[in-house]
Structure 1
């Protein structure tokens, strides 16, 4: 196959969760640019969305939400590409002792079990077709968890990585590749707004506020976070035929935040 063909996704059906903003939105755009027919899901469709027939309003942290997404996507047959971007944390600060059972379950449902349930619903058709690519978004917090407000999130992402590795070993002989992408900080609109709030709330210049965030992570050698386009570049590669021999891997994209040897 030619180099250009290996970069294309023409004729392939994809689903991206959490595709209404941030990294998910960039991934949806990139896969469309590569030729895929891309469905996406989030709780609310953005106003003026250009592909309303490919948007599924659903909360994939719930069983009913997953069922709704699976039913809609399955109408067209097996998927070729499934990218789980959705995730996040709503736990209040205060450390482990303030995390209630309800908050633990909310974090696990959003960051782990939504992907588990959607895989269980959609991957059998992919296995039957004998080909496909699945990508789970984990987090560098699975390696360097921040205990104050995101411990449950970090634990859920750690579990997602373990699940992803086991699933990869099970499905590779059946033609389905499963991998993970582990982002550090990402330059999104939400992140920029957070920098603004930090600067205003602490009487800091914007660059000082940004530096304080980097310092809390122990430094970011690259000097900046990844952009959503850079996240989408990595996703596009991993779901393409250029990555045909990559199975069970976790690609860290964090500007060097996690110390490695």
Structure 2
């Protein structure tokens, strides 16, 4: 898979300090690898100790769902990197339920903590320094499924919808300070976590995940294949780069044309 901006040997993130949450596998790991290849210093996070963090990245074990976890991540970023120029909120996820009425209160709260409030808390700790320096790039990873509001994942898509509104508002607030805020919304992507979730969805709600007719390759996307982690990482790095210097408050769908939007 070709990575963004490096085919000509450029290192467009040289001298940049990047923090990527949830970077031990899948999309997060692809973002970390591409940032490293483009010359950035990278710190990444996961809830559990892991040996799958891309080589060359620093790592902190912390739970982004809690204020204490956000504080530990921010403190490590200041200690290891000396600050953050590029902040990528990638950590997220949820398990499907048979329907919206089957989702317990505590699961709603967990979905909000992981998919929305984690970004709010970490931003509150790291954005003030970006404002003071009058530079910084923030990318929130949402989901292309938000417009469909699937009942089986309503806790997840509702939290991501909140994240998208928050991202647009932060973009407006921070624009005068030279800090850009954008969103990337992935569609069906071939990752270990994604495959586990789709298998569970097929068990709890048979047929609900098969609305689109598969292509000859077996994919339900109009482009005929599922996304790869590097497809999403390409979009993240573009939005975080100087090539997107006049983009803020945007939401880039990277879904092979699978999901409708207005």
Which of the five TM-score ranges fits, normalised by the shorter chain?
0.7 to 0.9
- State the alpha-carbon separation in 2 of the partners of residues 69 and 29 from structure 1: 19
Flag the 1:177–1:198 CA change in 2: closer, same or farther, 3 A: closer
Q: Shift in Å at residue 7 of structure 1?
A: 5.9
Aligned partner of 1:166 among 151, 156, 169: 169
Q: Does the Cα contact within 8 Å between 2:44 and 2:57 map onto a contact in 1?
A: no
Q: Does the Cα contact within 8 Å between 1:7 and 1:237 map onto a contact in 2?
A: no
Flag the 1:198–1:72 CA change in 2: closer, same or farther, 3 A: closer
Q: Which residue of 1 aligns with 2:181?
A: 178
Flag the 1:154–1:243 CA change in 2: closer, same or farther, 3 A: same
Flag the 1:147–1:50 CA change in 2: closer, same or farther, 3 A: closer
TM-score (norm 1): 0.86
Flag the 1:166–1:217 CA change in 2: closer, same or farther, 3 A: farther
Q: Which residue of 2 aligns with 1:155?
A: 158
More helix by share: 1
| Other structure's SS at 2:151 match | coil
Q: Which residue of 1 aligns with 2:42?
A: 38
TM-score (norm 2): 0.86
Aligned partner of 1:22 among 23, 26, 46: 26
CA RMSD of superposed structures (Å): 2.6
- State the alpha-carbon separation in 1 of the partners of residues 75 and 49 from structure 2: 18
| Other structure's SS at 1:14 match | strand
Alignment gaps of 5+ in structure 2: 1-5, 214-219
Q: Does residue 65 of structure 2 align to residue 70 of structure 1?
A: no
Q: Does residue 87 of structure 2 align to residue 82 of structure 1?
A: yes
| Other structure's SS at 2:246 match | coil
Worse-superposed segment, 150-159 or 67-76: 67-76
Q: Which residue of 1 aligns with 2:211?
A: 216
Q: How many residues align?
A: 247
Worse-superposed segment, 177-186 or 6-15: 6-15
- State the alpha-carbon separation in 1 of the partners of residues 174 and 9 from structure 2: 25
Q: Which residue of 2 aligns with 1:205?
A: none
| Other structure's SS at 1:185 match | coil
| Other structure's SS at 1:162 match | helix
Q: Shift in Å at residue 223 of structure 1?
A: 1.8
- State the alpha-carbon separation in 1 of the partners of residues 161 and 131 from structure 2: 25
Alignment gaps of 5+ in structure 1: 202-208
